[in-house]
Chain A
Amino acid sequence: NAGVTQTPKFQVLKTGQSMTLQCAQDMNHEYMSWYRQDPGMGLRLIHYSVGAGITDQGEVPNGYNVSRSTTEDFPLRLLSAAPSQTSVYFCASSRRQGLHGYTFGSGTRLTVV
């Protein structure tokens, strides 16, 4: 199993550009989530999903869209990038709620200039 795969690993965007951060998991996990990590702020939940077609907003959803058309994929879209979205983004997946916990990808470092 590859686990949770995030692409790209690094990205530089200009203000106003749009892009999609890709996340794929091959563990047949139902739950998937997106987080952003900023210095001193911990990990903040952006969006999450329990399966295809079902998503919900987390703590900091503004400026981001998600959709879940398959169990494996959970892309995160930045509609119009802003410098405030400069961050490290993590995707995570979990088989089910419980003590198994979430498995995290290795992250995408995004810089918006």
Chain B
Amino acid sequence: QQQVKQSPQSLIVQKGGISIINCAYENTAFDYFPWYQQFPGKGPALLIAIRPDVSEKKEGRFTISFNKSAKQFSLHIMDSQPGDSATYFCAASLANQAGTALIFGKGTTLSVSS
């Protein structure tokens, strides 16, 4: 059973437009929800993150919206730029005695056309 479901698989947006990527989770024990950005040939890099007691977090052009009751969260990229073209992963974190298990969605490939 996939614990974190991400959609869409791919997304094409025009320069200046809004990119929206959605994720849903099942396990209510998840306590931290980060988004990662990955460029080809590189490791993922943390973009923005949110805790479930906050409904929205904004950093520059990137915003996370979080709906705890629906168990959904989304990434909005405002004024999308060609440099934003990358693969985006949502994730959810579960803490236990061994550390934090970070479970990822399958990713969304974003292409911003100029």
Contacts and interface: CB of A to CB of B under 8 A. Distances in A.
Contacts of A50: 97-100
A101 interface: yes
B43 A90 contact: yes
B63 interface: no
A44 B95 CA distance: 16
A97 B95 contact: yes
Nearest to B100: A97
B56 to A, nearest CB: 14
Contacts of B45: 104
Interface string B27-53: 000011010100000111110010100
B: interface residue count bin = 20 to 34
Given A48-B98, A50-B99, A97-B95, A104 B106 contact: no
B99 A104 contact: no
Contact of B101 (A51, A56, A90, A99): A56
Interface residues of A, number: 35
B46 A45 contact: no
Interface of B: 6, 9, 31-32, 34, 36, 42-46, 49, 51, 89, 93, 95-107
30 contacts: A32-B99, A33-B99, A33-B100, A33-B101, A40-B9, A41-B106, A42-B105, A43-B104, A48-B98, A48-B100, A48-B101, A48-B102, A49-B99, A56-B101, A58-B101, A90-B43, A92-B43, A92-B102, A97-B93, A97-B95, A99-B49, A101-B36, A101-B46, A102-B34, A104-B36, A104-B44, A104-B45, A106-B43, A107-B42, A107-B43
